[in-house]
Amino acid sequence: MIFGSQKTPQNGPAAPVANSPQHIIFDATANDFEQSVLQASMEKPVLVDFWAPWCGPCKQMMPVLEKAVNEAGGAVLLAKVNLDENPELAQALRVQSVPTVFAFFGGRPVEAFQGNQPESQIKAFIASLIELAKQNAPEALNIPESLKAAADALAEGNFPVAQGIYADILEQEEGNADAFLGLIRTMIAAGNADYARQMIDNAPDPIARHPKFIDSKAALEMALKSPASDLALLIENVAKNPDDQQARLDLAEAQFAAGEREEAIETLLASIAIDREWNEQAARKMLVTLFQAIGNADPLTIQSRKKLSSLLFS
């Protein structure tokens, strides 16, 4: 059945790329109609012009129709169907004469006209379809508000909600570095380290070059590390050698990798309290890296930043 399924057909020519300028106007057949017209109409209106080589009015109207579609700048598509070569399509849509033009939107026919029409009426027809598409378009996300909602959900440990919001933002705005980083943090917090690693390694070029991604990458890498040391042994080592600053940093890194975020932060704060200048402020720099990995909106980060400020400015 021609209009029964919205699945991509297994046979037949490949469908035109709807967003490509050279495919705003294309020929359609019974083999590819489902993909090139029905599926494409889920995103924007598609005009289907039934014509025939022997039809004089078809030859008169087609250039006018093509001109109007081109002037719409890709807001609508035009599929041209040769009636003689695709009688099953004509039968399915009950085409009785040519030219006949159907408008598809949302996978179904919504408007139609028959016979040669003046340019003004064709343009008005297309304008009404564009307006219909606008009225039925999903409401655009408020990106700043959505980012805040996702960060709040992540801070509260509501990982599915945070993941969903970040994914919606990226669907609307592919290059949003905040959403991309937020999604990585969500995956790490939810224990999905493999997926987080894939996101870091395969970040799209614009995001990979974004300053926020570059600044946060080291923190994310640290958050993905597996505990490689015996925490009890490291804690004992610090207790035996309280002046060994490197031992404290090793302990903090292992604690963070083991998921003990608060303990790692307290270890670094203790190191800063003993000697803030050690090794060019290595403890403070590691602490800032942890803040980036946790997320600046996380309550733990906010609380710990206050403690850091008290130490640095006391």
The residues annotated with a catalytic role in the active site are: 55, 58
Beta strand residue intervals within 13-131, DSSP E: 25-27, 46-51, 77-82, 100-105, 108-114
Task: Look up residue 36 and give its DSSP letter.
Answer: I
Block residue for tokens 């029964």? 4
Block residue for tokens 């995001």? 207
Q: Return the closest-CA partner of residue 115 out of 57, 74, 165.
A: 57
Residue 109's beta-bridge partner residues? 104
308 and 269 in contact (C-beta within 8 Å)? yes
Which amino acid does the sequence have at 200? I
Block residue for tokens 């609380």? 303
Residue 102's beta-bridge partner residues? 48, 112
